[in-house]
Structure 1
Amino acid sequence: MLNVRSVAKVAASIPPLVVDLAIAAAVTWVSLTTASGSYPSSGPRRFDAFAIALTIAVGAALVLRRRFPLSVMAVCAALVAIFEVRGYWLSLNQAGLQIAFFTVASRRGRRWILAAAAVTFPVLIYSNLHEWIGSPFVIWLETAGRVLVIAVVGDGARRLTESRAFMAEYDRQVQRKQHEREQRAVLLERIRIARELHDVTAHHLSVIAVQAGLARYVLETDTKTADHALRTISEVGSEGLAELRRLISLLRPDDDEAGASADDRPAPGIAQLPVLIERVGLSGTPSRYTIAGRQRPLPAGIELCVYRVVQESLTNVLKHAPGSSVDVSLEYEPEHIRVTVTDAGPHAVPPQRSRTPRSAAAQATDHSGAGVGLTGMRERASLYGGALTAGRKPDGGFEVTLTLPLDKADADEFDTPALHEGESVLG
C-alpha cells in the first residue's frame, strides 16, 4: 500500500524545472497526437506545418511559466488567438492557455488575476461559441464559470503557498529563539554554579584556616591533635583544588563578588534531602525517599549537584503534576552515585486537587522534558562528568535520572558486601 506522505515527499523533491518540462512535453504531445488522429470541422484550415509550429510554441512557453508567469500568459494567449484566427482547430491549444492562466493566479495578486482572466475569457468564448451546441447564454455562463474556477483554485494555491512559507519562517524563528533561550539558560546556570562552587571553596578555605590555627596552637603541646589537624587540611585542600578545577572554566559577575564572599556557609548537600522531600510532602505531594548502598562522604560539589537536581525535579513535579506521588531514590555504587526522581504523572492528579484548570494536552506539553530547567540540570551534570536523562515512562509518569562518577579513591573505600536499604521519608 502506497504511503501518501512518502509519495508527496518524493514529488516535492523533484526540481520545478523538471516538472515544467514534463508538463510542456505532455501538453505538446497530447495536442499533436489528437490533431493527427482526427481533425474536427470547427476549423476550415488543415493542420499544416504552421499549426504544428504554433502548437509546439504554446507547449514550449510553459517551460518558463514559473519564472515569467505574466509573459508566458501573454505569449500563450497571443499564439492561441493566432491559431484560432487562422482557422485551425479552435480548442486544440486551450489547455496550454489555461495552464498559463492558472500559473498567474497561483503566483500573482488578485489584480493580475483579473487582468489575466480578461485576456483568457475572450479567447475561450470565441472557440466555445463556434464548437459548443446550446444556448449562447449557457455557453457564456459555462465559460465564465470555468475561468472563475481556475482563478479561485489558483488564488487558493497561492495563499496556501504563502501560508506555508510564513509557517516555515515562523518555525525557523521559534527554533532560533529556543536555541537562544537554551544558550542563555546554559550561561545563567554556569553563573549560578560558579557562585555555588565559590561558596563551597570558601567553606574549604575556612576549614583549612581553622585547622591550621589549631595545629599551630597545639604543635608543641599536643602532637596527636596537630597531626589530625594537618591531615584534615590535606583532605580538605584536595577537595578544594578539585572544585577549583571545575570552577576555572566558568565566569562569574564581578558586581556580585562582594555579596557572595560574605556568605561562608556550605552549600546544601545529600544530608538536606530528607528535609527538602519532607517539605514537598507537606505541600500535598506524597513522597518517598530511599537510600541504597553504603553511605559515605562525597565531594561537596557532587553533593550540591545531587541536591540541586532533586530540588529542580521536585519543583517540576509541583508545577506540572501537582498531587502526583513522587519517589526519590539515592544509590551508592562502587564507581558512581545515582539519583532517580520518579512521579506518577499528571493523570494521577484527582480533579479536586488540580488548582490550575488546564487540559491534559497542555499538561503533557509542559511535562515533555524540553524545558529550560532540564537544560540547566544537564549542564550541571556535565560539569561533574556525569549524565542526566529525563523522559516519560510507559505508564505516563516522568522520570529524571542523574548519574555522577566518583573518584577511584572513593571507589576503593566502598564496601560492596555492606549494601543496605536506607530510610524512607513519607509525605
Structure 2
Amino acid sequence: MSPRISGLHACRAWFDARPQASDAVLALALLLVGLPQLYLEDLPRGLDELYAGTDARHLALVVGVTMTLSFRRTRPLLTLCAIVAGQTLITVWNYPPTVPDFAAYLIATYGVAAHRGLAISALGGLVSLVALNGFLLTFPTDLGLMSFMTDNALVIGVWVLGRNLRLRRAYFAELEDRAARLERARGTDARAARVEERSRIARELHDVVAHHVSVMTVQAGAARRILDRHPAGAREAMTTIEEVGRTALSEMRRIVGVLRTERDPETAGGELAPQPGLGDLGELLDHVRDTGLSVQLWVEGEARTPSPGVDVAAFRLIQEALTNTLKHAGPQARAWVRLRYTAEDLTVEIEDDGRGTATIMADNGDRPGHGLVGMYERVALYGGELRIGPRVGGGFGVRARFPLEA
C-alpha cells in the first residue's frame, strides 16, 4: 500500500471516529462555495427591489445556519429545528435565500431521516415540509403550482433517501452480526467436534491397548512357565509378544496421528492407513489363538459390506469381548464368534464358557469397566442394540445388532 493511500485511510478513520468534526468540514465547504454568492452575484431584476441588501447580520445568519450542520448526526432533530428557525429569521428580515442555508436545510432533513428512528424521523420530515411550504407561501412573487410540487417532491425525496440508507445500514449491520454469530457457532461446533473426536480416539486407544496388552501378558506368562523345560516354545512366545507389541504401536501411531498438526512426510502414509474392520477379523483371531484361547468363527447369511463406521465398530466390539475373555474367562475357556447377516442388519455374537461375570465385577468394584461402556457407546452411535451378560450353561456372552441401512 502506497503512503498516499495509507494516509487517506488514516484520515478517513479519524473523521469516522469524530462525526462532528467531519460535519463541520462539510459546513465549511458549503460556506466556501456559497458565500461568494452574497457579494459577487446580483439578484435578478425585480427581486433586488423585494429583498434587503446583504449586511453583517445576514452574513452571521447564513454562517450560523450552515455551521449548525456540525451537529446533524449527533443532534439531527435539534439541528433541523435550528436551521428552520434561522431561515425563518432570514425570511422575516427580508433577506434573500442563499445556496448554503438551503443546502443546509436539505442536508438536515436527510440527517434526521438517516440517523433517527421512524417516529423522530417522521416528525422531522413533517417539520421540514411545513417549514418549506411556509417559506413558499411567503415568497414575494407567485411561484406557481409546479414550483410547489417540485420543491415538495425534492424534500420528500431527500427524506426517503435518508430512510432508505438508514434501513440499508441496519440491514448490513444485521448481516455482520449474523455472520459473527455464525462464526461463533462454527467455532463452538468445531470445539464440540474436537471433543467428540478425542472421545472416539480414547475409545480406540482403550480397545487397542487392552487387547494387545492382554495378549502380551498371556504370552509372557506362558513363556515364563515353559522357559526352562521348553526354550523353543518360550522363544516362539517371545516372538509373538514382539509382533503383538509392534502391531499395537502401529495402531496407536495411526490413531493418535489424527491429533498431530504436522505430519512427517515419510510416515504420513502409515498414519493415514485405514481403520481395521471385519476383513481383518482372521488376523485378530489368529493373535488370540496364539495365546492359547480356542476361538471359532461362524458366518451365517450372505456377507454384505457394512458402512465404514459399522465395520470398525463391529471389529472393535469383537476385539474388546475377546480381550475380556482372555482376562477373565480362565485358562481352559473357549470362545465363539458368530456373524449373522440379514437384509436389514448385522448381528455379532461373542460367547465363552469361562467363569462369566464374577471376575469382571470383582475387578471393577461391581461397576462396568471402560471397555463395556465403550461397547455400549459404539453400538448406540450407529443405532444398534447391545446385550451383555452371563449365558445359559455358564460363561459370558455379548450380542450386538447393527442396522445395515441408515
Identify the TM-score tier after normalising by the shorter chain. Answer: 0.5 to 0.7
Q: Which residue is equivalent to 2:33?
A: 30
Q: Which residue is equivalent to 1:15?
A: 15
Find the residue that maps to 2:73 and give its secondary structure. coil
| 1:162 CA drift (Å) | 0.9
Residues in 1 aligned to 2:70 and 2:107: alpha-carbon distance in whole angstroms: 11
Q: Which residue is equivalent to 2:170?
A: 162
Q: Taking CA–CA contacts closer than 8 Å with sequence separation of 6 or more, which of the two structures ends up with the larger relative contact order? A: 1
Residues in 2 aligned to 1:11 and 1:158: alpha-carbon distance in whole angstroms: 24
| 1:12 CA drift (Å) | 7.2
Q: Which residue is equivalent to 2:83?
A: 76
Find the residue that maps to 1:44 and give its secondary structure. coil
Q: Which residue is equivalent to 1:150?
A: 158
Matches within 5 A, 1:203-218: 203-218=211-226
Find the residue that maps to 2:58 and give its secondary structure. helix
CA offset digits 1:84-136 (Å, max 9, x no partner): 21111124411101101100011223332332233223433344456697653
Distance 1:275 1:217, change over 3 A: closer
Matches within 5 A, 1:170-209: 170-209=178-217
Q: 1:103 aligns with which of 111, 127, 132?
A: 111
CA contact (8 A) 1:94 1:124 kept: no
Distance 1:145 1:186, change over 3 A: same
Distance 1:52 1:235, change over 3 A: farther
Residues in 2 aligned to 1:230 and 1:176: alpha-carbon distance in whole angstroms: 54
Matches within 5 A, 1:298-309: none
Residues in 1 aligned to 2:71 and 2:308: alpha-carbon distance in whole angstroms: 63
Matches within 5 A, 1:181-260: 181-233=189-241, 236-237=244-245, 243=252
| 1:164 CA drift (Å) | 0.9
CA contact (8 A) 2:113 2:125 kept: no
Residues in 2 aligned to 1:179 and 1:12: alpha-carbon distance in whole angstroms: 33
Q: Which residue is equivalent to 1:54?
A: 61
| 1:213 CA drift (Å) | 2.5
Which amino acid counterpart does residue 234 of structure 2 have in structure 1? A
User: Between the two proteins, what is the percent identity of the paired residues?
Assistant: 27
Find the residue that maps to 2:175 and give its secondary structure. helix
Q: Which runs of 5+ in 1 are unaligned?
A: 1-5, 251-267, 277-309, 313-427
Residues in 2 aligned to 1:30 and 1:58: alpha-carbon distance in whole angstroms: 15
Residues in 1 aligned to 2:39 and 2:126: alpha-carbon distance in whole angstroms: 32
Distance 1:126 1:90, change over 3 A: farther
Which amino acid counterpart does residue 23 of structure 1 have in structure 2? L
CA offset digits 1:126-159 (Å, max 9, x no partner): 4445669765322222222112111211111111
Residues in 2 aligned to 1:83 and 1:131: alpha-carbon distance in whole angstroms: 12
CA offset digits 1:41-64 (Å, max 9, x no partner): 366222222222222222222122
Find the residue that maps to 1:90 and give its secondary structure. coil
Residues in 2 aligned to 1:37 and 1:311: alpha-carbon distance in whole angstroms: 88
Distance 1:275 1:226, change over 3 A: closer
TM-score by length of 2: 0.54
Q: Which runs of 5+ in 2 are unaligned?
A: 1-5, 260-271, 281-306, 310-406
Residues in 2 aligned to 1:106 and 1:11: alpha-carbon distance in whole angstroms: 23
CA RMSD of aligned residues (A): 3.7
Q: Which residue is equivalent to 1:137?
A: 145
CA offset digits 1:155-196 (Å, max 9, x no partner): 111111111111111111111111100110011011011101
Distance 1:71 1:45, change over 3 A: same
CA contact (8 A) 1:103 1:154 kept: yes
TM-score by length of 1: 0.52
